[in-house]
Amino acid sequence: MELSIFELFLLFVAAIVAGAVDSIVGGGGLISLPVLLLLGLPPLQALSTNKLQSGFGKVIALIRYARAGLFISINSKQILLSYGIPCLLASMLGAFFTTKIETRILELLIPIVLILASLSFALNAYRQRGYEKELNTIAKIKSGKINNKNTSKCKNSKIISNLVIYIISCYDGFFGPGAGTFFLVTLTKLKGMGLRASIALSRLLNLSSNIGAIVIFSFAVGFAWRALPVMILGQILGATLGSLFALRISIFALWVVVCLITMTIAIVLLSRW
């Protein structure tokens, strides 16, 4: 579909906000995806376009965390075999299922999932409101002030946590927004990993599942190519700004704003159904 100059500008602004949110707390797709749908893109094309443009922000975040030294303690080969490839395949499966759902059903399903994801974010924000400085301070990560010790878990717990990670990857391919935060919570709460390692691994898992979905969507539905350049530029700019202002932003307040925006747009989308 054709997009006006104003609509492209709106997508650019949405991508900046999404990139900034993603780099600080995750869940930027809760901003960019609803805006794509609000402008009238077909659901599958909105999902595919959102997935591709957000990938650039994820790469920027990975580079930033690598410079902060978060990947030093990670065994790359083990991570690739245990998580990278399985997450990619699970995401491809989720994306494949999405392409088989009728457009009319997706138009109803996506706003509902957006609302549920927003509520999940709001709950997580409430639980973490007392620890926001530890969760968004790259300076503390660099200085090692954030705990990186793993908490021992039993074998059954590790199996369950791996299964949850693969389910999140499937969700990322099927829908996506919030997957990065879900990965982080799973790694810290279920696998008992330290925050430094969890942040690094969650970004790698998120990028892996992102790539899997992009592969399926590129063959099945394609992308809104006219929207991609401005959104990619916005993502890169937003991710950069997010890293600069992370120390000055309240995570709890940011999550609340994201949830309110997402739920408002989702309700508008539901009213159109």
Q: Is the pLDDT of residue 200 over 80?
A: no
Euclidean distance between CA atoms 74 and 199, whole angstroms: 11
Q: Is the pLDDT of residue 125 over 80?
A: no
Mean pLDDT of the residues in the chain? 80
Q: Are 213 and 78 in contact (CB under 8 A)?
A: no
pLDDT, position 152? 46
Q: Taking the domains of the chain in order of start, what are their residue ranges?
A: 5-272
Percentage with pLDDT > 70 across the chain: 78
pLDDT, position 191? 75
Tokens of 235: 């993502």
Write the pLDDT tens digit of every residue in 142-194.
334 444 455 445 556 778 888 999 999 999 998 887 787 788 788 887 777 77
- Name the residue among 40, 49, 45 with its Cα closest to residue 3: 40
Residue 233: what are its φ and ψ, rounded to 5°?
-60, -40
Its pTM stands at: 0.80
Write the pLDDT tens digit of every residue in 220-265.
888 999 999 999 999 889 888 876 765 566 667 777 777 888 888 8
Euclidean distance between CA atoms 248 and 254, whole angstroms: 11
Q: Is the pLDDT of residue 10 over 50?
A: yes
Tokens of 45: 């094309």
> Where residue 126 falls among pLDDT bands split at 50, 70, 90?
low
> Where residue 89 falls among pLDDT bands split at 50, 70, 90?
very high
